[in-house]
Amino acid sequence: MKILYFAWVRERVGKAEEVVEPPSSVATIGELMSWLAGRGEEYAYAFENARVIRAAIDQTHVRPDTPIAGAREVAFFPPMTGG
């Protein structure tokens, strides 16, 4: 599963993208964030306030309780500030 990070989530994690293989017990976006947060100090920092982090599956906005089954590309980022 390809994971993308943007803005300060990217800066904290220290990379823009990576491929991960979470265990099958990780079923939702929220659980994926918790699992990522346990991968190291930089991840713990990036996801320390997971409630503010937004996510997209295959380029569509999703909520923390959205299942990740079948996702090819998952992105994590702060609230958008475009326009």
Stretch that binds other proteins, among 24-32, 33-41, 42-50, 56-64 (CB under 8 A): 56-64
Smallest distance, other proteins to C-beta of residue 24, A: 27
Stretch that binds other proteins, among 4-12, 18-26, 29-37, 63-71 (CB under 8 A): 4-12
Stretch that binds other proteins, among 6-14, 17-25, 27-35, 43-51 (CB under 8 A): 6-14
Q: In what helix (H) or strand (E) does residue 69 lie, and over which residues does it extend? A: none
Size of the site for other proteins (CB under 8 A): 16
Angle at 8 (CA atoms; ends 24, 59), nearest 5 degrees: 50
What secondary structure does DSSP assign to 2-64, as a single string? EEEE-HHHHHHHT-SEEE----TT--BHHHHHHHHHTT-HHHHHHTTTGGG-EEEETTEEE-T
Summarize as ranges the residues that interact with other proteins (CB under 8 A). Answer: 4, 6-8, 56, 59-61, 75, 77-83
